[in-house]
């Protein structure tokens, strides 16, 4: 069994994907152009965000708004310590200080009850992460941010497609940033990402920063980056966007079915909790187990691939030792990172696949 079966997805849309890529090659329009314009329209139509800017990766999609907001040395940006490195890396890259706020023990997203205490006069943005595909408690976070006049950047790199109280992830805060890394809910065939906003001024500045801070060609208003998406990735995404709503529905169904099978199995696991006012894209279907190493060894022997998202909370990474945050700084993140384990998940998994995984996990956690 594959952890994520990108091959099954390719075979399902192969004819259209191949034709789309060949068309770009014949056009010789490789950078920006019609495919990127079409993708941005598709992304805005899907998320409801007024401005969608395709860019080179999820990491750049997080970096560009920080640059556009003028965040740098002496500033602080709040994020979760239980996420992929990029969430905090971009904060450090612009010269600001990552400030961590611990997660909620049921959703694994930033705990809004702990947020306000972390705000200082230097706080310039809050970057909640919609981990595993479930939007963070955005209403609570936005309300605290509004009280202090601070923008909110949703790290939606795992949650493209998720619903939150009738809105789409990427369109629930000042800015949303997603990734089209191949294994994400909407993936391209290389690196890609997008940034979303309803703020015209911010959109204009991010559009400029995405292409070397230029206003017109060879005239540079800001220091920017090469953060463009290439036309081939856009063409692939335009094909995949047609099927994405049905894939998203399938993800929700498979995640729910996993949890149903686990509930009936007697397996010794903590399954994901999705709040009733939102959906999860299950970018990962992650469960908590005791004795994770032993469980993973048994699953590997049974032919079930697993992964750990993420084994080391960010405050314990070597690159962030300068922050001086030792053991016990964020106890929930530390606990969850020691127990979490992701199981095979993609929209092409069958009932038999799920039953096989659940049976193996039940046996391995006895």
Q: Using CB under 6 A, which of the segments 1-9, 54-62, 143-151, 258-266 binds ligand PLP?
A: 54-62
Q: How far is CA 44 from CA 38, 113, 161, in A?
A: 10, 32, 12
Point out which residues pair with 340 in neighbouring strands.
288
Query: Which one among 4, 20, 86, 364 touches ligand PLP, defined by CB under 6 A?
Result: 86
3-state secondary structure of 167: strand
Query: Which one among 9, 57, 109, 207 touches ligand PLP, defined by CB under 6 A?
Result: 57
3-state secondary structure of 12: helix
Rounded to 10 degrees, the C-alpha dihedral 17/21/23/27 comes to: 160
Bridge-based pairing of strands 123-127 and 76-79 is parallel
CA–CA distance, 114 with 95 (Å, rounded to integer): 24
Query: Which one among 9, 44, 52, 59 touches ligand PLP, defined by CB under 6 A?
Result: 59
Q: Tell me the two tokens of residue 201.
A: 């001024």
Q: Which is nearer to ligand PLP, 193 or 224 (CB)?
A: 193
| Residue 134 within binding range of ligand PLP, rule CB under 6 A | no
| Residue 157 within binding range of ligand PLP, rule CB under 6 A | yes
Query: Which one among 55, 58, 161, 164 touches ligand PLP, defined by CB under 6 A?
Result: 58
Exposure b/e, 294-312, CB count within 10 A at least 16 = b: ebbebbeeeebebbbbbeb
| Residue 158 within binding range of ligand PLP, rule CB under 6 A | yes
CA–CA distance, 3 with 304 (Å, rounded to integer): 8
| Residue 64 within binding range of ligand PLP, rule CB under 6 A | no
Q: Which is nearer to ligand PLP, 203 or 314 (CB)?
A: 314
**x/- track of binding to ligand PLP for residues 23-42 (CB under 6 A):** --------------------
| Residue 155 within binding range of ligand PLP, rule CB under 6 A | yes
Q: Which is nearer to ligand PLP, 309 or 358 (CB)?
A: 309
The residues of the shown chain that bind ligand PLP, judged by CB under 6 A, are 57-59, 83-84, 86-87, 129, 155, 157-158, 179, 181, 191, 193
């Amino acid at each position: 069994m594959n952890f994520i079966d990108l091959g099954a997805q390719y075979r399902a849309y192969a004819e259209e994907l191949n034709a789309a890529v060949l068309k770009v090659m014949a056009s010789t329009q490789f950078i920006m152009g019609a495919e990127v314009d079409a993708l941005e329209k598709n992304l805005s139509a899907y998320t409801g965000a007024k401005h969608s800017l395709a860019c080179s990766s999820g990491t750049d999609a997080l970096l560009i708004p920080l640059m556009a907001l003028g965040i740098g040395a002496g500033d602080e940006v709040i994020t979760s310590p239980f996420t992929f490195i990029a969430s905090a890396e971009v904060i450090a890259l612009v010269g600001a200080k990552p400030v961590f706020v611990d997660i909620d023990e049921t959703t694994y997203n930033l705990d809004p009850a702990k947020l306000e205490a972390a705000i200082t006069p230097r706080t310039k943005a809050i970057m909640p992460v919609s981990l595993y595909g479930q939007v963070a408690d955005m209403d609570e976070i936005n309300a605290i941010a509004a009280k202090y006049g601070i923008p909110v950047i949703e790290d939606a790199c795992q949650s493209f497609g998720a619903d939150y109280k009738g809105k789409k992830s990427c369109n629930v805060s000042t800015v949303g940033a997603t990734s089209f890394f191949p294994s994400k809910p909407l993936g391209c065939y290389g690196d890609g990402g997008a940034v979303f906003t309803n703020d015209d001024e911010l959109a204009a500045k991010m559009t400029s920063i995405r292409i070397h801070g230029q206003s017109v060609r060879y005239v540079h208003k800001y220091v920017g980056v090469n953060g463009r998406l290439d036309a081939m990735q856009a063409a692939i995404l335009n094909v995949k966007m047609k099927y994405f709503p049905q894939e998203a529905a399938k993800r929700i169904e498979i995640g729910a079915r996993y949890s149903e099978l686990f509930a009936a199995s007697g397996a010794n696991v903590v399954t994901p909790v999705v709040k009733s006012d939102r959906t999860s894209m299950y970018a990962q279907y992650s469960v908590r187990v005791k004795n994770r190493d032993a469980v993973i060894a048994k699953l590997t022997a049974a032919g079930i691939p697993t992964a750990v998202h993420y084994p080391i909370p960010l405050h314990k990474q070597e690159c962030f030792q300068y922050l001086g945050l030792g053991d016990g700084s964020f106890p929930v993140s530390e606990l969850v990172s020691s127990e979490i384990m992701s199981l095979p998940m993609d929209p092409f998994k069958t009932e038999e696949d799920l039953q096989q995984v659940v049976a193996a996990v039940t046996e391995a956690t006895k």
